[in-house]
Structure 1
Amino acid sequence: MKKTLLALLFATLGLSLASAQPMPGGPNQPDMEVNAAIRQQVIDNTIAELNKNYVFPEKAKKMEAALRQHQKRGEYNNVTSALKLSDLLTEHLVSETNDKHLRVMYSAQPLPEQGADKKPSPDQRANELLDMKKSNFGVERVERLPFNIGYLDLRGFLPAKEAGEAIAAAMTLVANTDALIIDLRKNGGGDPATVALLASYLFDERTHLNDIFYRESNRTEQMWSTDFVPGTRFGKDKEVYVLTSQHTFSAAEDFSYSLQKLKRVTVVGETTGGGAHPGDVMRLTPHFGIFVPNGRSINPITKTDWEGTGVSPDIKSTAEDALKTAQVVILKKVTAQEKNPGRVARIEGRIAKVLAEDTSNVMAR
C-alpha cells in the first residue's frame, strides 16, 4: 500500500491505527460542501485510476460506463456533501463488481501529494509510526488461558517491518502453550507480508501459503512462510484455532483461508467478509482518495480465492460465542486424553464456567 495514505486506508476500512485522535477518512470528521467542478474531477479521476490499475480491466470499463450513465441521468447533480458523494460513488462501483475492497474515501484533512517515489515525508512517516504504536501494532491482547491455552487477539496486520517485534513478543509468550486461539473477529486486514510472518510461527519449515497476481506488472508474487522468525516458534504439531466474524476481512481472510486449506488451523465462527483483492490507496483530489484493488489472490491448493464468498468456518458459531466454542472444543479433547480423575473434574468445571459466560457484548468491546 502507499504509506503516504496509510492512515486514510486504515481509518476507512476499519483498521484503526489509533483511537486517540480523529484520522483522515475517519467517522467523526466534518463534512465538506462539493460543487459541480469537484464532483466532475472526482468522477473523472476515479475512472482514470480504475482503468489504469483495477485488477480486471474489463470490469474497469464496465464501472466507467456505469458511472457515466449515473452521471448522464443527473444522479450526482444535487449531491453537495463530500461524505454523501464518496458513499454514493462507492455504492455504484461495488454494485457493478461486488468487490468490497473498492472504496471512494473523503478526508476533511488534505491528503498528501503522491510523488514519483510514492514515499511519505519524514513528518508523515513519524505520524504513521506514532499511530501504529498507539494501537500496539495490532496486538490487542495476548494471554495464557486456564489449562495452558494460548490466546492472541490481533486487530490488524500492520506493516511487517513495524509490527514484527510486537508479533514476535506475542508469539513467544504463547509458544509453550498446548493449543492456541488466534482471534481475528475484529481484524479488517492489512499487509500480506505480515500474514506470512505470523503464519511462519505455526510451521517448522518453509511453506507455500498463497500467490498474489498484480495487474500493473503482470506478475505473480508467491507468499511463503519464512525459514527464520524472531522469537520462538509455536511449531507445526500443536492445534491452532482461528476465530472469525463477518467483519474479518482482506489479509485476515488470507491468513484464515491459506492456513485452513493447508489444514494447519481450524476456523471457528462466522463466514468472513469476502475480500481477496489487495491494492493501493490513490489520491483523487486534495480531499478524495480511492482504494483500487490491483491484484488478486490465487491459493496454490484451490487455485482460487475467497472473493465474494468469504472463508467458511470449520466449526460454525456466532461471532460472540466463537471464543467460548473454541475453548470448549480444546478442553473436551484434553479431557478425553486425561487419566487423572481429579484433573478431569477440574477441566469439566472449567468447561461449565466457559459455557456460562455472558458473551452478548463481546463484539462491542
Structure 2
Amino acid sequence: MTALDTDRIVTETAKLIADHYVFPDIAEQLSALLADRLAAGHYGAAGTAEELGALVTEDLQSVNGDRHLRLQYHAETVPAEPGGAVLAEITREADDSMNGVPLVRRLDGGVALLELAPIIFPMQLKDGATGETLRAALNLVACAEALIIDLRRTRGGSPDTVACICGYLLDESTHVNTTYWRDGDSYAQSWSPAYVPGPRFGGSKPLYVLTSGSSFSGAEELAYDLQQLGRAVVVGERSRGGAHPREGYTVHPHLEVTVPTGRSVNPVSGTDWEGVGVRPDIEVPAAEALERAHREALTALNATA
C-alpha cells in the first residue's frame, strides 16, 4: 500500500465519520484525531490494508469505545455500494449456519431450545429463505411449555428481525425499541407485528434468553427488549455492549468504514446497552447458562402445575 493510498483512505474515513457518526461532537474529535495521527506519520507503519485497518480502528475506538466504529478489513473484495460488504459476508454465513437457526431441540420437561447464530439475519436475505427458516423454527417451538433462546454465539442482527421474533413471543403488537437517526435528526419506532404466520409461543409461558460476553449488537437488542418488557429472564454473562446501528462505506477494495449512524432508545428504560452490555437477571458463566435456564424453567413449570 502506498503512502498516497494511506492518505486518501484515512482522509476519506475521517470525512465519513464527520458527516455521519451519530454523535457530532465525538465525530469532530475523531476526525481531528485521525488527521493529527496521519500528519504525524503514525499510519505509515502499515504495510497492508489489514494493518492499516487495525491501526485506524484502535484510534477510532479510543475516544468513547464504540465497538461498531471501525475501519474493517475484509479478506474478500468489498463491494462498492454502501453496506455491500456486510451483505456479501452474511449471505455466506447464512449458507453455513442453516440460515441462522443451527439448533432447535426439545429438552426434558416440555422445554424447547432455540439457538440463533451467528447472526439474526434479515428476513429477506437469500430471497426470503432466512425468514422462512426462522418462522418455521418459531412455529415449531410454539407448542413448548417453556422456551430457551440461546444467543451466546450471536454477534449481531437485524432490528427488523428482532421485532419479528418478539411478535412470536408476545400476545399483541408492542413497542419494543426506538432508533434516533443523526441523518434527518429523526426518530423511528419499532413495533412487534400484530400478526405472525403460524402459531406463536405467546406472552405468558416461561421464556429465558442466554447471553455471553460475545453476544453483541442485534443479539443484545433482542435480549434487552424482552428483558425491559419483563417478558424474559436473561441468563448468562454480561454482553459486549454495542447498541448503535451502523452503515458501511467502502474506501479500499478490502477496507470498509463502519459508521454508527443511529442510537437505540428503549421505550421502558429510556436508554440502551451501549458500552455497558445487557446485564443478566441470573449471572452465571456462559458455559453453565443452558443448564441453569433449564432448571429455572422446570421450577417455574412445576410451580404453575
- Which band: TM-score by shorter chain? over 0.9
Partner of 2:158: 191
Q: 235, 239, 262: which one pairs with 1:295?
A: 262
Which has the larger displacement, 288-297 or 71-80?
Answer: 71-80
Equivalent position SS for 1:95: coil
State the Cα distance separating 1:81 from its structure 2 match. 2.4
Partner of 1:67: 34
Q: 8, 12, 15: which one pairs with 1:48?
A: 15
Paired with 1:88 and 1:130, the residues of 2 have a C-alpha distance of 27
Q: How does 1:296-311 map to 2 (within 5 A)?
A: 296-311=263-278
Q: How high is the TM-score relative to the length of structure 1?
A: 0.78
Paired with 2:183 and 2:134, the residues of 1 have a C-alpha distance of 31
Partner of 1:159: 122
Q: How high is the TM-score relative to the length of structure 2?
A: 0.93
Partner of 2:190: 223
Paired with 2:246 and 2:293, the residues of 1 have a C-alpha distance of 33
Paired with 1:221 and 1:302, the residues of 2 have a C-alpha distance of 17
Partner of 1:283: 250
Structure 1 unaligned runs (5+)?
1-33, 339-365
- Aligned pairs, how many? 299
CA contact (8 A) 1:278 1:296 kept: yes
Paired with 1:134 and 1:326, the residues of 2 have a C-alpha distance of 27
CA spacing shift, 1:133–1:269, aligned 2, 3 Å: same
Paired with 2:92 and 2:15, the residues of 1 have a C-alpha distance of 33
Partner of 1:142: 104
State the Cα distance separating 1:78 from its structure 2 match. 2.0
CA spacing shift, 1:133–1:216, aligned 2, 3 Å: same
CA contact (8 A) 2:115 2:150 kept: yes
Structure 2 letter corresponding to 1:187: T
Structure 2 letter corresponding to 1:132: A
Paired with 1:126 and 1:316, the residues of 2 have a C-alpha distance of 36
CA contact (8 A) 1:168 1:232 kept: no
State the Cα distance separating 1:128 from its structure 2 match. 6.5
CA spacing shift, 1:90–1:128, aligned 2, 3 Å: closer
Which has the larger displacement, 101-110 or 284-293?
Answer: 101-110
State the Cα distance separating 1:129 from its structure 2 match. 4.9
CA contact (8 A) 1:41 1:285 kept: no
CA spacing shift, 1:267–1:125, aligned 2, 3 Å: closer
Paired with 1:287 and 1:174, the residues of 2 have a C-alpha distance of 41
Structure 2 letter corresponding to 1:190: G
CA contact (8 A) 2:20 2:182 kept: yes
Alignment of 1:208 onto 2:175: yes
State the Cα distance separating 1:135 from its structure 2 match. 2.3
Superposed CA RMSD in Å reads 1.9
State the Cα distance separating 1:131 from its structure 2 match. 4.9
Paired with 2:11 and 2:234, the residues of 1 have a C-alpha distance of 42
Structure 2 letter corresponding to 1:43: V
Structure 2 unaligned runs (5+)?
none
Paired with 1:177 and 1:296, the residues of 2 have a C-alpha distance of 35
CA contact (8 A) 2:83 2:247 kept: no
CA spacing shift, 1:92–1:130, aligned 2, 3 Å: closer
CA contact (8 A) 2:235 2:293 kept: yes
1:126-168: per-residue Cα shift (whole Å, max 9, x none)?
Answer: 9975652432221110111111101101011101223221111
CA spacing shift, 1:72–1:298, aligned 2, 3 Å: same
Higher Cα Rg: structure 1 or 2? 1
Paired with 1:242 and 1:81, the residues of 2 have a C-alpha distance of 41
Structure 1 letter corresponding to 2:254: H
1:64-107: per-residue Cα shift (whole Å, max 9, x none)?
Answer: 11112222332112221221110111011001121011111123
1:215-261: per-residue Cα shift (whole Å, max 9, x none)?
Answer: 11222110000011122100111010000001111011111111101
CA spacing shift, 1:203–1:83, aligned 2, 3 Å: same
Equivalent position SS for 2:43: coil
Equivalent position SS for 1:45: helix
Structure 1 letter corresponding to 2:10: I
